[in-house]
């Protein structure tokens, strides 16, 4: 338990994920799908590990999330609740380049059960050092360049457009001015790595909204969803739901900590118009099991919104 591999091996899911490549309508806009999503995707509790990332991908997750710190001029994946971004909550850290290389290795081949599907990668930066943007861009370029979707997402971007591609989402909560800070002094230089050229979507923008779990409960419910004749529903953006930040130490028994309850995927899909409800696979609870069953029953990491709504209505009757 006191090593990355030991901690990872304690995370057991005995049920079959049931997922294969998506074989439904691929011509709908990407906001018309519910996506199997994870948070802190390389963390198993107190450690960051490639094994844990591989496990999350093996469960069919196609939305990955990584928290990035900047140490000795290098971006690392770790976890910190320190306001100064200096002290780590995890006992180790892994270079972002190594994490993204592992995504490239495992997301589009075995052990992923759905290698033809797109993979969404959300990056959350916890650093005030402006050099972090250049170094993140370098990591993306080295690890994922030929897999990257090369355009910004827009309301007409379809599943087909991004199929088999990596889509980069930048969380601009902490750094809303990241675009200006990413600019190169000499944009035409071979050494220019402008992060905005690699990012397909910012998490709070015209195309996307990201909020914490409880923020949804503290506001009015989302739009009442209606299924149109073409099987689309009346959503006009992607909505991402993420866990609360908490400052308590992660308990040894990470599966039963009362601080880490996950929300119900049916409620957030139906009432709050959420397509990407992010679960921490190192904090297993009843709601994560329900999420696993939901995607297993549909045999896909992507469920068309209209199919998800019909399923939810049926089980709630």
Mark 22-34 as b/e (b = at least 16 C-beta within 10 Å): beebbebbbbbbb
pLDDT in tens, 117-149: 999 999 999 998 999 999 999 999 999 999 999
Q: Is 259 helix (H, G, I), strand (E, B) or coil?
A: helix
This prediction's pTM: 0.93
Give the residue-averaged pLDDT of 266-284.
96
Q: Which domains does the chain have, with CATH numbers?
A: 34-207+278-303 (3.20.20.190)
Give the residue-averaged pLDDT of 186-200.
90
Q: Identify the pLDDT of residue 1.
A: 57
pLDDT in tens, 19-32: 999 999 999 999 99
Residue 95's H or E segment, with its range, is: strand 94-95
% of the chain surpassing 70 pLDDT? 93
* pLDDT at residue 208 greater than cutoff 60: yes
In the numeric block, which tokens belong to residue 284?
């297993």
CA distance 293 to 51: 23
Beta strands 276-279 and 238-242: pairing type? parallel
Q: Identify the pLDDT of residue 317.
A: 79
pLDDT bin (cut points 50, 70, 90) of residue 217 is confident
Q: Identify the pLDDT of residue 14.
A: 65
């Amino acid at each position: 338990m006191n090593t990355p591999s030991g901690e990872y091996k304690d995370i057991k899911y005995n049920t079959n994920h049931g997922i294969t490549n998506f074989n439904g309508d691929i011509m709908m806009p990407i906001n018309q799908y519910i996506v199997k999503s994870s948070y802190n995707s390389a963390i198993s509790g107190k450690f960051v590990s490639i094994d844990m990332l591989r496990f999350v991908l093996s469960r069919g997750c196609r939305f990955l999330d990584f928290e990035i710190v900047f140490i000795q001029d290098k971006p690392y994946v770790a976890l910190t609740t320190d306001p100064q971004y200096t002290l780590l909550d995890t006992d180790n850290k892994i270079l972002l380049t190594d994490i993204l290389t592992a995504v490239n290795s495992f997301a589009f081949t075995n052990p992923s059960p759905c290698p033809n599907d797109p993979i969404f990668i959300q990056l959350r930066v916890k650093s005030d050092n402006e050099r972090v943007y250049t170094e993140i861009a370098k990591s993306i370029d080295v690890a994922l360049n030929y897999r990257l979707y090369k355009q910004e997402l827009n309301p007409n971007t379809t599943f087909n457009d991004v199929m088999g591609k990596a889509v980069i989402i930048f969380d601009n909560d902490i750094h809303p001015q990241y675009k200006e800070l990413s600019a190169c002094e000499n944009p035409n230089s071979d050494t220019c790595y402008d992060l905005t050229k690699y990012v397909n979507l910012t998490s709070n923008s015209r195309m996307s909204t990201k909020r914490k779990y409880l923020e949804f409960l503290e506001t009015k419910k989302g739009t009442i969803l209606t299924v149109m004749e073409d099987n689309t529903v009346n959503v006009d953006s992607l909505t991402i739901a993420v866990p609360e930040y908490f400052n308590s130490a992660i308990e040894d028994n990470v599966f039963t900590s009362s601080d880490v309850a996950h929300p119900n995927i049916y409620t957030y899909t139906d009432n709050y118009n959420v397509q990407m409800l992010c679960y921490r696979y190192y904090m297993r609870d009843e709601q994560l099991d329900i999420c696993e069953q939901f995607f297993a029953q549909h045999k896909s990491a992507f469920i068309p919104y209209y199919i998800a709504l019909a399923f939810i209505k049926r089980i709630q009757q």
